[in-house]
Structure 1
Amino acid sequence: MNILIADSGATKCEWCLLYDGKKKKVDTQGISPYFLDSAGIGRVIENELMPAFKRLDVEIDQVYYYGTGCLNPDNRKIVAKALRGAFRGAGVHVTHDLMGAAVAACGNTRGMVCNLGTGSFSCYFDGKKIAKSSPGLGYVLGDEGSGAYLGKKVLQYYLYDTFDEELRYKFDAKYVTNRSEILENVYKKALPNRYLASFALFLVENRGHYMIENIIEDGLNDFFFQHLCKYRESWKLPIHFVGGVAYGFRDVVGELCNTYEFELGNVLRKPMDGLIKYHQLKK
């Protein structure tokens, strides 16, 4: 059986085709049904994914898609319609990225699962299903600890002239932008969450400066306080983290777990390797 797995955030979608005992991985732009309709998703698949599979001449039997925004039933229908149109005859299974992170980090065991990427979420996984989850409010009202959240903090420090001379110089040299351009990208252009998240890289590149460390610790602590502290299971089960932000700042994540007396579990940069293992065992 040939299986196609997709793990999609708002910024990037990672695909992996399992066929004849082999693996073929492809990255495309992120797929969010809040920003793309079925036709738009279909164009991403046709233009960015299909060319990579064309030479393989493999018929796909099952598609397992784990994606941002797919907790919403209407959004799942949007994605499923696009996938069925692209992979005619294949079984299509669409669920949310919470479930993808859960099975990638936990397999079939119980645990708390957090995703800190462009956006953020948390849940309690009972080994079979998401038993509890914290409501996601998106990048405007929520997404604490995410790339968009941290990037927003960077821009606030810059626009409010909070950065010291050293950091302001480094910011200007790296981004060559201004207040008007920043506000236009945030309030008028498409995909502002991706734009905000792009500024989290400034934090990675300037670790050690007290202002940078404050932004990172405060942003991640907001996630711990607003989300993990709301679950009584957080003090009983290992807490797993998935996503580029969690992995990039895993030292701070570990320190915060110690502060809150949580047990730190796995910290994965991407869920895909865990998803591959999970579906190979199911085959």
Structure 2
Amino acid sequence: MAAVLIADSGSTKCEWRLVKEGKSKKIFTTGISPYFLSGEQIQLLLQKELLPKIKDTIIDELFYYGTGLKDDANKKFLKSVLKKVFPATPVEVQTDLLGAARALSLNEKGVCCILGTGSNSCYYNGKKIIKNSPGIGYVLGDEGSGAYLGKKVIQYFLYNTFDEELMHAFNKKYNTNADEIITNVYTKPQPNRYLASFALFLAENRGHYMIENIIEDSLNDFFFTHLSKYTESWLYPIHFTGSISFGFKDVLKTLCSSYEMEMGAVLKEPMDGLVKYHSM
């Protein structure tokens, strides 16, 4: 029976699934990004964190989906590293966006969206990505993402827009101030993740009209800026994956209805869909 290894990697965490004889085993390692790690560092990471957990298993196929792979040079680089670790195994390296599309839409046509720390979307024809609304990062874009939502929360706090109830709830949860926030956003590493951490405040305070407005307005910005640019959005289902997608799927459903689009699958993470795709 063939053993298939599938990876879905961000820059901080990578989930692996070893699929064999109809069963799948979860393995987690440190995330892999070709922008932050050298080939030697990636090799060492895999030898230390992955190989001991799959020892005595011959891997027949390896499918790797990850961050930082839009650039073909990065794809080739990562494939060469994986081939050093798995020299006898056929290896396929693809973007996290194609991974999301395969997980969500399998072999069917659809518009596939990632709403996590960042945001992205594409039209997928059942085999490959045909159109991609350009991601321009958390400073200029990432509409509908955790960073985008979190930025709105911070703005409401710093501009004193929240009412007394929400100001009290925010101060109790975060115990922070303007100086600390500005330092984290403008001088410390990974400000997008810092911003995204404030999206949890929205999930914990659902029902308040200000909270609902932030969620709906932010997700509507994603629909207006990205999904409305695809003519296919009115022809095929709209699928979503990522923590924001999963946490606010009720709002996504309402927006799909208001835009007269068909709501498709919603997955918190793509891995279960990828296992299904590669088991077909």
When normalised by structure 1's length, the TM-score is 0.90
What SS does structure 2 have at the residue aligned with 1:245? helix
Aligned length: 279
Query: Partner residue of 2:275?
Result: 276
Q: Which amino acid aligns with 2:76?
A: K
> Structure 1 residue 268: deviation in Å?
1.3
Residue 59 to residue 180, structure 1, CA distance change in 2 (3 Å): farther
- Which stretch shows the higher mean deviation, 175-184 or 103-112? 175-184
What SS does structure 2 have at the residue aligned with 1:280? coil
Query: Partner residue of 1:14?
Result: 15
Give the distance between the partners of 2:151 and 2:253, measured in 1 at CA. 23
Query: Partner residue of 2:194?
Result: 195
Query: Partner residue of 2:218?
Result: 219
Structure 1 residue 38 corresponds to structure 2 residue 54: no
What SS does structure 2 have at the residue aligned with 1:31? coil
Query: Partner residue of 2:83?
Result: 84
Residue 165 to residue 48, structure 1, CA distance change in 2 (3 Å): farther
Query: Partner residue of 2:58?
Result: 59
Q: Which amino acid aligns with 1:241?
A: F
Give the distance between the partners of 2:38 and 2:62, measured in 1 at CA. 19
Residue 136 to residue 21, structure 1, CA distance change in 2 (3 Å): same
> Structure 1 residue 115: deviation in Å?
1.1
> Structure 1 residue 27: deviation in Å?
2.9
Q: Which amino acid aligns with 2:33?
A: S
> Structure 1 residue 26: deviation in Å?
2.0
Give the distance between the partners of 2:162 and 2:45, measured in 1 at CA. 39
Structure 1 residue 210 corresponds to structure 2 residue 212: no
Q: Which amino acid aligns with 1:224?
A: F
CA deviations over 1:62-97 (Å, ceiling 9, x no partner): 221111221221332343344334334332211111
Give the distance between the partners of 1:10 and 1:153, measured in 2 at CA. 24
CA contact (8 A) 1:35 1:191 kept: no
What SS does structure 1 have at the residue aligned with 2:134? coil
Give the distance between the partners of 1:146 and 1:9, measured in 2 at CA. 15
Alignment of 1:1-283 (within 5 A): 1-42=2-43, 44-51=45-52, 53=53, 56-281=55-280
> Structure 1 residue 146: deviation in Å?
0.9
> Structure 1 residue 44: deviation in Å?
4.5
> Structure 1 residue 155: deviation in Å?
1.6
What SS does structure 2 have at the residue aligned with 1:180? helix
Q: Which amino acid aligns with 2:130?
A: A
Residue 183 to residue 23, structure 1, CA distance change in 2 (3 Å): same
CA contact (8 A) 1:171 1:202 kept: yes
What SS does structure 1 have at the residue aligned with 2:273? helix
Give the distance between the partners of 2:78 and 2:45, measured in 1 at CA. 12
CA RMSD in angstroms comes to 2.0
Give the distance between the partners of 1:114 and 1:27, measured in 2 at CA. 24
CA contact (8 A) 1:10 1:194 kept: no
- Which stretch shows the higher mean deviation, 31-40 or 151-160? 31-40
CA contact (8 A) 1:10 1:118 kept: no
Q: Which amino acid aligns with 1:60?
A: I
Could you list the runs of 5+ residues in structure 1 that have no partner in the other structure?
none
What SS does structure 2 have at the residue aligned with 1:4? strand
Q: Which amino acid aligns with 2:278?
A: H
CA deviations over 1:39-79 (Å, ceiling 9, x no partner): 4544543454445x15x532323221111221221332343
> Structure 1 residue 247: deviation in Å?
1.2
Could you list the runs of 5+ residues in structure 2 that have no partner in the other structure?
none
Give the distance between the partners of 2:103 and 2:155, measured in 1 at CA. 34
- Which stretch shows the higher mean deviation, 69-78 or 27-36? 27-36
Residue 63 to residue 70, structure 1, CA distance change in 2 (3 Å): same
CA deviations over 1:114-147 (Å, ceiling 9, x no partner): 1111111111111111111111112222211111
Q: Which amino acid aligns with 1:164?
A: D
What SS does structure 2 have at the residue aligned with 1:158? helix
Residue 219 to residue 11, structure 1, CA distance change in 2 (3 Å): farther
Residue 249 to residue 104, structure 1, CA distance change in 2 (3 Å): same
When normalised by structure 2's length, the TM-score is 0.91
